[in-house]
Structure 1
Amino acid sequence: MGEDAKKIRWYNLALMAFVSVWGFGNVVNNFANQGLTVVVSWILIIGLYFVPYALMVGELGSTFKDGKGGVSTWIRETMGPTLAYFAGWTYWVVHVPYLAQKPQAVLIALGWAVKQDGTFINNMNTLVAQSLTLVVFLVFLWVASRGVTSLKKIGTIAGTSVFVMSMLYILLMVAAPAIRGVEIATTNITIQSLIPKFDFTYFTTLSMLVFAVGGAEKISPYVNNMNKPSKEFPRGMIILAAMVAVSALLGSMAMAMMFDANNIPKDLMMNGQYYAFKMLGEYYGLGNTFLIVYAIANMLAQISALVFSIDAPLKVLIGDADKNYIPKKLTKTNKYGAPINGYLMTAILVGILIMVPALGIGDMNALFDWLLKLNSVVMPLRYLWVFLAFIMLKKLSDKFNSEYKFVKNKSIALGFGIWCFFFTAFACIMGMFPKGVETYSSAWWFQISLTVLTILVLLGLGAILPKVAKKNKSI
């Protein structure tokens, strides 16, 4: 009985996964991107993509239960060490655009907490704002290099607070018309207004949806800690999908009640979360209370995420470094155990990505949106390795055995893996095209060129490191 009590049950797994995968920003950003049609988009993306993705992750985690490298381990076991290195590199390098935007998010939250409006960074010259963003990044890079871990604990508390307030927003906003007599902003909600127009513009918004529901590989280690993995893991994932669906659908409707879906503010991605809590406080006669609490909690959560994302992905890349692929100098650590040369490489790449866009994107809101879109394109690239590992697992099914199987029929399982791989690739490619910018204008070409160049440089560097490592070994 004592041993069984330590086992994770399906409801524990569903709650753990929900907190780690989902966030209020997912609702705001996708509503800003699609308006009311996001309701149908959520149903499609969760049913056709998120559920099979999460269940595939469960099978991979169960098959390679002794592996500690996550996706890298799955690729190493199915495709060899060279591709495992590139999987590890991809996992790290996609965090570079993420790290370039996190200091922005810190400054935006600080501005709302202090001034209770969005003017702090919006009114700045882009070069000045990005210079300040770079300073914030370098400060917390230094903090991370000193081995400071207390921020992670603070961030966990702040992140939980943000999550609770996000759920509270949905409940209070949905109830506001009945309780407070609030008028609904979007008045023409019909079946037609919910159905997307599946054209080129719509397809450019898919990467943001994929970005929102990704990250299920974080829960793969828990599959083997479950009571009955073959029964309870899929049950937990179905409950997770249901919770995400309810949150996404109710959250999108709550946003449509507060903001006119036919006249969405241009800066909703940048400031939407804060507008939402400012207006919610006004509806319930609490002034800016909700806004200030949310802004402070979100600022601390963003700082923690920034420090953690500087440190953790880099340690995944070089922690179990293969000398054939990672130069020895890159693994050098300081007295706090931080890979100092790896931090230097991070600082250079992130610094370039913070400053260069400011030279061609003259508006802070447009710059924020571009960086967010860039993240939605590059972050899902790591999911491609998950699906590739699953495809190879099915092709080598005679070699591997798993206590939990996503689908017993090998051909159907393989079909799901191929579908998810190509859908993710398609979404990433379409996400490169900017939305809300005049087609073929200089700004349009600049943003596309910068996105493509950023991806090529980040992935290309991964091909250079093994050559440097090889040269170092021969000296």
Structure 2
Amino acid sequence: MSEESNYSPKKTIQLGTLIMMIFTTIFGFGNTPIAFMQMGYASIIWYIFAAIFFFLPSGFMMAEYGSAFNEAKGGIYSWIDGAVGPKTAFIGTFMWLASWETWLVATASKIWIPLSVFISGSDKTQTWSFAGLNSNQVIGVLAVIWIILVTFFASKGIDWISKISSFGGTMMVAINILFFVLSIYILIASGFKTAEPVHGIHTFINSANPSFASPIAMISFVVYAIFAYAGMESMGGITDSMKNPKRDFPRGILISTLIIAVLYALSIFLWGVSANWNHIFNSGNVNLGNIVYVMMDNLGQTFGHQLGMNASTAATMGQWFARFAGLDMFIVYTGSFFVLIYSPLKSFVMGTPKDFWPEHVTKLNKAGMPSNAMWYQAIFVNIIIIAVAFGGSTAQAFYNILTLMGNVSTALPYLFLVGAYPFFNLNKNIEKPYLFFKNKTFMWTVSIVSFVVLTLSVIFTCVQPIIDHQWNDAIWTIAGPIVFTVIAVVLYRRYERKHNKKLV
């Protein structure tokens, strides 16, 4: 008997831990200053729109999937397979995994920016050098070491993952509490006057940024708002490690949905308490990479001025706020890494038919982790990291292509999940301990609306570079899901032929 068949995962994850893991994986503190940078107060309404028409309904659907397939080790693969069949599940999950592999490559390099801010007070990664290596090569080496370390500790079991993720969630809570308390203090101390003035309701409708004033640009921002809520499905791979998944998984998703949606909307508004849009973003040295630390620096300086500090002391306080944000974001990234280096891979490898992979790929170690598959993933990701870091401009172009290919592929699995949901809901052969959409008319309405919103987000993600005449970006953005679909179909047909030969 194989090691896998003897293993029963430890039921260690409770409701509080699950909520913290969801919060760490989905809520991005950095999303709100970016939203404020892109559209000012007008971004609030689009975040609420995305929560109502994507995050909330998909959260209910994930809760139903998770409670019905609570013992399934395959996460979203098992969900889609149970609803519409294995081939569709394989294609959808393969694209989902491909987008997360791209995330691992990108974030393994990006994670050093907040650490640099913590050490130096600002991003100095482009000045790093060591033993004749330039900055990109140094970051590449660090990224490789990072992937190896995270894979090593994550392969030790779900206890490691939940502890690191929970700590990341705690740090996310800490920086949010600091941000909320100081912003509210500044608001009260200033006589309820915001640095970014409110001129009636149109302030919350019209973008402060001219680049996002057109209808097409606004819709492209909706795409970003939807993606800010992405990641809930990655929790599907941990249901078999929960003490009471039928009760706690849906509760955890619903509680997290409410908390995250409210915090996103409120956070965007509170950034305007300390930051004037024109003052911050017309300085010419602010970009999407450093916006979090610039805004936290500004928050610290504004707080210092409210306390009566002189300009020099307030500037020092601002720098320490940026340092704290750097440390906090580094820990938060770490928490997300421990979840995402394991859960998407497990959902794919453990969910697909056992004879699809060689036996050693699906074999679980003593901690119940697919460690062999995790190390294969580490090798694959590190090869790409090294190629990008040491390959010069050609490699950088290759990395940009990978990123563009992953953009739409990130959204498409949600189309599979939402599209498969009505079939799941109507299938009486599937036991559903938890069912939110009991009224069939309501179920079809919500499913169709969510599917249309997602479809439009995918279409406009592809159309935007065409409108901007960025033809190369447009080609690779559209090519991404096509290439991944073709690879998935070829792999699945290969499995079918191999499986059919065994049956003969």
TM-score by length of 2: 0.74
Structure 1 149/60 Cα, relative in aligned 2: closer, same or farther at 3 Å? closer
Which has the larger displacement, 286-295 or 243-252?
286-295
Of the candidates 166, 189, 201, which is equivalent to residue 176 of structure 2?
166
What residue in structure 2 maps to residue 345 of structure 1? 380
Kept after mapping to 2: 8 A contact 1:8/1:225: yes
Give the match's secondary structure for 2:468. Answer: coil
> For each residue in 1:418-446, what CA deviation from the matched residue of structure 2 results, as whole angstroms up to 9, or x when unmatched?
221231132123224568x9922xxx223
Kept after mapping to 2: 8 A contact 1:78/1:389: yes
Q: Within the alignment, does 1:389 sit opposite 2:387 as a pair? A: no
Structure 1 83/130 Cα, relative in aligned 2: closer, same or farther at 3 Å? farther
Give the letter aligned to residue 316 of structure 1: S
CA distance in 2, matches of 1:447, 1:108: 25
Structure 1 241/314 Cα, relative in aligned 2: closer, same or farther at 3 Å? closer
Kept after mapping to 2: 8 A contact 1:328/1:469: no
Task: Output the aligned Cα RMSD.
Answer: 4.3
Give the letter aligned to residue 270 of structure 2: A
Structure 1 277/239 Cα, relative in aligned 2: closer, same or farther at 3 Å? same
Give the letter aligned to residue 98 of structure 2: V
Which has the larger displacement, 387-396 or 246-255?
387-396
What residue in structure 1 maps to residue 209 of structure 2? none
Kept after mapping to 2: 8 A contact 1:7/1:227: no
What residue in structure 1 maps to residue 264 of structure 2? 248
CA distance in 2, matches of 1:307, 1:12: 14
Give the match's secondary structure for 2:289. Answer: helix
Q: Within the alignment, does 1:202 sit opposite 2:218 as a pair? A: yes
Which has the larger displacement, 425-434 or 37-46?
425-434
What residue in structure 2 maps to residue 3 of structure 1? none
Offset at 1:86? Answer: 2.3
Give the match's secondary structure for 2:228. Answer: helix
CA distance in 2, matches of 1:423, 1:352: 37
What residue in structure 2 maps to residue 416 of structure 1? 446
CA distance in 1, matches of 2:434, 2:354: 34
CA distance in 2, matches of 1:53, 1:180: 40
Give the match's secondary structure for 2:371. Answer: coil
Kept after mapping to 2: 8 A contact 1:210/1:376: no
CA distance in 2, matches of 1:393, 1:284: 52
Of the candidates 192, 197, 211, which is equivalent to residue 202 of structure 2?
192
What residue in structure 2 maps to residue 305 of structure 1? 336
Q: Within the alignment, does 1:98 sit opposite 2:98 as a pair? A: no
> For each residue in 1:80-117, what CA deviation from the matched residue of structure 2 results, as whole angstroms up to 9, or x when unmatched?
22222223323321202211221232121122112212
Give the letter aligned to residue 424 of structure 2: L
Give ranges in structure 2 of 5+ residues lacking alignment.
1-11, 207-212, 305-316
Identity among equivalent positions (%) equals 19
Kept after mapping to 2: 8 A contact 1:141/1:307: no
Give the letter aligned to residue 168 of structure 1: L
Give the letter aligned to residue 290 of structure 1: F
Of the candidates 203, 211, 227, which is equivalent to residue 227 of structure 2?
211
Structure 1 294/309 Cα, relative in aligned 2: closer, same or farther at 3 Å? same
Offset at 1:155? Answer: 5.4
What residue in structure 1 maps to residue 142 of structure 2? 136
Kept after mapping to 1: 8 A contact 2:97/2:344: yes
CA distance in 1, matches of 2:342, 2:18: 26
Q: Within the alignment, does 1:264 sit opposite 2:281 as a pair? A: yes
Which has the larger displacement, 298-307 or 408-417?
298-307
Structure 1 83/451 Cα, relative in aligned 2: closer, same or farther at 3 Å? same
What residue in structure 2 maps to residue 67 of structure 1? 72
> For each residue in 1:163-204, what CA deviation from the matched residue of structure 2 results, as whole angstroms up to 9, or x when unmatched?
321232133123214337897432254311211567111111
Offset at 1:325? Answer: 4.1
Offset at 1:332? Answer: 8.3
Give the match's secondary structure for 2:281. Answer: coil
Structure 1 202/416 Cα, relative in aligned 2: closer, same or farther at 3 Å? same
Offset at 1:453? Answer: 3.5
Give ranges in structure 1 of 5+ residues lacking alignment.
1-5
> For each residue in 1:48-92, what CA deviation from the matched residue of structure 2 results, as whole angstroms up to 9, or x when unmatched?
332222122222223333323221112221222222222332332
Give the letter aligned to residue 313 of structure 1: P
> For each residue in 1:256-285, what CA deviation from the matched residue of structure 2 results, as whole angstroms up to 9, or x when unmatched?
233333573674421122122222222334
Structure 1 410/129 Cα, relative in aligned 2: closer, same or farther at 3 Å? farther
> For each residue in 1:277-320, what CA deviation from the matched residue of structure 2 results, as whole angstroms up to 9, or x when unmatched?
22222233435333223312322332453355334422332235
Structure 1 233/65 Cα, relative in aligned 2: closer, same or farther at 3 Å? closer
Kept after mapping to 1: 8 A contact 2:125/2:135: no
CA distance in 2, matches of 1:7, 1:71: 19
Kept after mapping to 2: 8 A contact 1:22/1:212: yes
Q: How many residues align?
A: 454
Which has the larger displacement, 259-268 or 332-341?
332-341
What residue in structure 2 maps to residue 112 of structure 1? 117
Offset at 1:249? Answer: 2.0
Of the candidates 68, 73, 77, which is equivalent to residue 82 of structure 2?
77
Kept after mapping to 2: 8 A contact 1:24/1:163: no
CA distance in 1, matches of 2:116, 2:258: 35
Of the candidates 266, 290, 296, which is equivalent to residue 321 of structure 2?
290
Give the letter aligned to residue 457 of structure 1: V
Give the letter aligned to residue 386 of structure 1: L
CA distance in 2, matches of 1:182, 1:122: 42
What residue in structure 1 maps to residue 435 of structure 2? 405
What residue in structure 1 maps to residue 311 of structure 2? none
